[in-house]
Amino acid sequence: MQSGFYRDTWVEVNLDAIKQNVVSMKRHIGDEIDIIAVVKANGYGHGAEQVAKAAIDAGATMLAVAFLDEAISLRNAEINAPILVMGATRPSDVNVAIQYNVTLTVFSIDWLKDAERYITNEELHFHIKLDTGMGRLGVRDEAELKSMFVHANQSPHFVIDGIFTHFATADETDSGYFDEQYGKFETLLASVPHQKLVVHCANSATALKYQRKLYNAIRLGISMYGLTPSIEMKKKLPYELQEAFSLQSKLVHVKKITKGEKVSYGATYEAKDDEWIGTIPIGYADGWARHLKDFEVLVENKRVPLVGRICMDQCMVKLPHHLPIGTQVTLIGQQHDQIISIDDVANYLDTINYEVPCMITSRVPRIFLENMSIIEKVNPILKR
């Protein structure tokens, strides 16, 4: 991978923050409960490989991704920790999972029967997913669950390592639906021998709120990245989260325009007076969405407005006065006492914080920091 980049826009990922968030969670849940670090979707847009290594360093014992491809990519980066694929895998790809020593998620008896036709002479390790009310993936029925245990126990090819479910509303204040799902999980679990299995149900919200309901592992996603699972939970967090992601750019052009002159596509912005306008090299093709029109960025520790429509590769900002080319612009993150948080961007876009780092595309290089210094730069568009 080419280590440099030639455009003045980049993401900074603070790996110390990731580690601190893992350590804080470990302290919160106690030694008996393992942390499975969720690094799907390129580590929620932060960088899967680097986040995975930091999380393992800080005490996580397993990694989780959505798809087999993501697991293989971690193995190719020489990450040897156990990896769980939480999404669906084709039965015909079972030998690939075995070859890469990846644990799959299985959620039907038919999948086991199908996979058995493909499997050669090795063992597949898997977790069983139960659908207790998320309505996405999972076994819903006790009889089918029991038949999966019988099938796996009779086959030389299958080893059940774990069993889990996922909550739809753990981040909400009202715990009614959560309690219902938890009850269903307990009932299904009681119908099978699970004493030696990794049993997990908690995402970040559950782990933060329900310390007594975590079985023996949690799947830690959003709060490992230093983000609150929901705005409702923000005021009640049991420890401080450290946001790891920031988005930076620089002024690449600065000009004075006069009253009545226009800026960007559609000529929708008109200067009300003589104004200093700066151009920054980031646009909607980088995930800096067109809906961020009229949002703010930080320049010289002040919030300044974006003006005109956001283009594919660039957008414009109204400056308080002339500033030199090369002046740093913070789109997400902190400049002295000013912060534009991922939650601020999510709120402006009427979405959730999870989506914001995920939407910043791989065209934006990622710089990884540890102990305040850069340890790696990743720029996928220049990969050889």
**Which residues are known catalytic residues?**
40, 265
Residues 80-99: x where in contact with ligand PMH by CB under 6 A, - otherwise, as a string: ------x-------------
Reported as type and span, the H/E element at residue 83 is strand 83-85
Which range in 200-208, 311-319, 334-342, 361-369 contacts ligand PMH by CB under 6 A? 200-208
Residue 39: closest CA among 29, 28, 23, 50? 50
Q: Which of 14, 203, 264, 335 binds ligand PMH (CB under 6 A)?
A: 203
Q: How many whole angstroms separate alpha carbon 194 and alpha carbon 210? A: 21
219 contacts ligand PMH (rule: CB under 6 A): yes
Q: Is the CB of residue 377 less than 8 Å from the CB of residue 364? A: no
- Applying CB under 6 A, the site for ligand PMH has a residue count of 12
Applying CB under 6 A, the span of 148-156, 220-228, 311-319, 322-330 interacting with ligand PMH comes to 220-228
Q: At a CB cut-off of 8 Å and minimum separation 6, what does 36 contact?
A: 60, 61, 62, 63, 64, 84, 200, 217, 218, 219, 220
Nearest-angstrom CA–CA distance, 232 and 225: 18
By CB under 6 A, name the one of 26, 46, 166, 309 that touches ligand PMH.
Answer: 166
SS3 label, residue 304:
strand
> What whole-number distance in Å separates Cα of residue 46 and Cα of residue 367?
10
Q: How far is the CB of 205 from ligand PMH (least distance, A)?
A: 6
Q: At closest approach, how far in Å is the CB of 169 from ligand PMH?
A: 12
Measured over all CA atoms, what is the biggest interatomic distance in the chain, rounded to whole angstroms?
A: 80
Residue 222 in contact with ligand PMH, rule: CB under 6 A: yes
Binding segment (CB under 6 A) for ligand PMH, from list 72-80, 96-104, 191-199, 201-209: 201-209
Q: Which stretch binds ligand PMH (CB under 6 A): 2-10, 23-31, 197-205, 317-325?
A: 197-205
Nearer to ligand PMH, 138 or 283 (CB): 138
Cβ at position 118, least distance to ligand PMH in Å: 25
Instruction: With beta carbons less than 8 A apart as the criterion, state whether 102 and 71 touch.
Output: yes
Q: Per rule CB under 6 A, is residue 103 in the interface with ligand PMH?
A: no
Member of 22, 33, 38, 119 binding ligand PMH (CB under 6 A): 38
Token pair, residue 63, equals 């990694």
Region of 372 on the Ramachandran plot (φ > 0 left; ψ -120 to 50 alpha; else beta): left
Min dist. Cβ of residue 295 to ligand PMH (A)? 23
User: In whole angstroms, how far apart are CA 230 and each of 173, 234, 237, 344?
Assistant: 10, 7, 10, 13
Are 11 and 360 in contact, with CB atoms under 8 Å apart?
Answer: yes
State in angstroms the smallest separation of the CB of 229 from ligand PMH. 5
Residues 338-357 that bind ligand PMH (CB under 6 A): 354
β-pair partners for 303: 298
| For ligand PMH, the closer CB: 209 or 318 | 209
| Site residues, ligand PMH (CB under 6 A) | 38, 86, 166, 203-205, 219-222, 229, 354
